Chain A
Amino acid sequence: MAVGVIQKAIFKVADNDGTIGSFSLDIATDAGSDPLDSFSAMYALFNAVSDAKIVGQIGQTADNEEVSALDTNVYDIRDKLEVGYVGSQNDHHKLEIGDLDPAILGADKEHVDPTNTEWMALVTAIEGNVVDKTGAAVRVTYGKRTRSRNLTRKVNPETT
């Protein structure tokens, strides 16, 4: 896989009324580095040409090379695998993954088969790489099928 040729830095600024604005700049990609690290010399230069101050910064790095398991499916992107996990502060999170492969579900077709190889690999990947807002590891608690609201079929009462 390959990262794009540029990394983006977005600066959120505020003037002395507190009104928010923003501007962004791109730099040549150094894939493993935070793009914001490249802007330390820019702050004073910015301060000399603007009456606003920088109050927040975002650095973006993108990989546009496709990873694919694309295939026909009885589900689509609005059918989700809902993965619940809990952080170190007992904070609960939901990760929704669209277009799930029905093969990972158990006999009830609603909950994941806990012995499914791909499911176990996903749990390992999440518990080994995802963090909470304190930077601590998380623990996966469940996986189940869910549906986006716009897939819910409503019966029109006037036709019944």
Chain B
Amino acid sequence: MAAFWTRASILLRDNGANICKCIVLVAAAAIDPSGGAVAAIRAAIVAVTKSASPRAETGAQAGPAGATTTGNGAYCNSEDKAVLTFRGDDNSTYNYELPAPKETIFIAHSDVVDPADAALLAFTNWISANCKGSFGQALTFVRGVRVRKKDFVNA
């Protein structure tokens, strides 16, 4: 369920480069920090200071997604991860850590994901088709490996 509000965070920086954040709630639809409610509040805040505001951001919040459910596979603890590596079209590298990966997405007796696994393929294809790198780069799936938090290593 979506919230009734959007969280607006307005960063201020004084002449000595010290910073602080001003945080208020605005209407749920006020997503764009460069216009509307957030821009109006930001302009009014800056006008009562002698500081600059180098950044404003909004955070929309929502509760559980769809009908996702937990499983009890071999790697079902959320501290177990599959690191999915994507390459940006500028040859940059992006690693996404998938928590609690299903054991079925890995090659049997291996820590490497099976690139032919239908579920994994659907997930990585969706990311490639819909997601971007930090600077807007298109992403291509490269590989995936299982990693464990240090806590899980038994000496």
Interface residues of A (CB under 8 A from B): 1-3, 5-6, 11, 13-17, 19-28, 31-36, 38-73, 75-78, 80-81, 95-101, 104, 118-119, 121-122, 124-126, 128-135
Contacts and interface: CB of A to CB of B under 8 A. Distances in A.
B96 A46 contact: no
A49 B144 CA distance: 12
Given A52-B78, A62-B58, A129-B38, 8 more contacts: A1-B35, A2-B34, A15-B100, A36-B62, A46-B68, A62-B33, A67-B53, A122-B47
B56 A133 contact: no
A26 B133 contact: yes
Interface residues of B, number: 91
21 contacts: A3-B34, A5-B136, A42-B130, A48-B102, A48-B119, A49-B105, A50-B99, A54-B68, A59-B62, A61-B33, A62-B57, A67-B56, A68-B52, A69-B52, A78-B20, A101-B47, A126-B24, A129-B27, A129-B36, A133-B5, A135-B27
Given A31-B34, A118-B47, A122-B44, A51 B15 contact: no
Interface of B: 2-5, 12-16, 18-20, 22-28, 30-73, 75-79, 81-82, 96-102, 105, 119-120, 122-123, 126-127, 130-136
Dominant secondary structure of chain B at its interface with chain A:
mixed
Given A34-B31, A44-B66, A99-B12, A16 B72 contact: yes
Contacts of A99: 12, 14-15, 18, 20, 49-51
Contacts of B37: 128-130
Contacts of A42: 123, 126, 130
B134 A14 contact: no
A71 B15 contact: yes
Dominant secondary structure of chain A at its interface with chain B:
mixed
B56 to A, nearest CB: 5
Contacts of B69: 47, 53
A95 B82 CA distance: 41
B96 A23 contact: yes
Contacts of B49: 69, 81, 97-101
A98 B132 contact: no
Interface centre among B42, B49, B77, B119 (most CB of A within 10 A): B49
Interface centre among A50, A57, A69, A71 (most CB of B within 10 A): A50
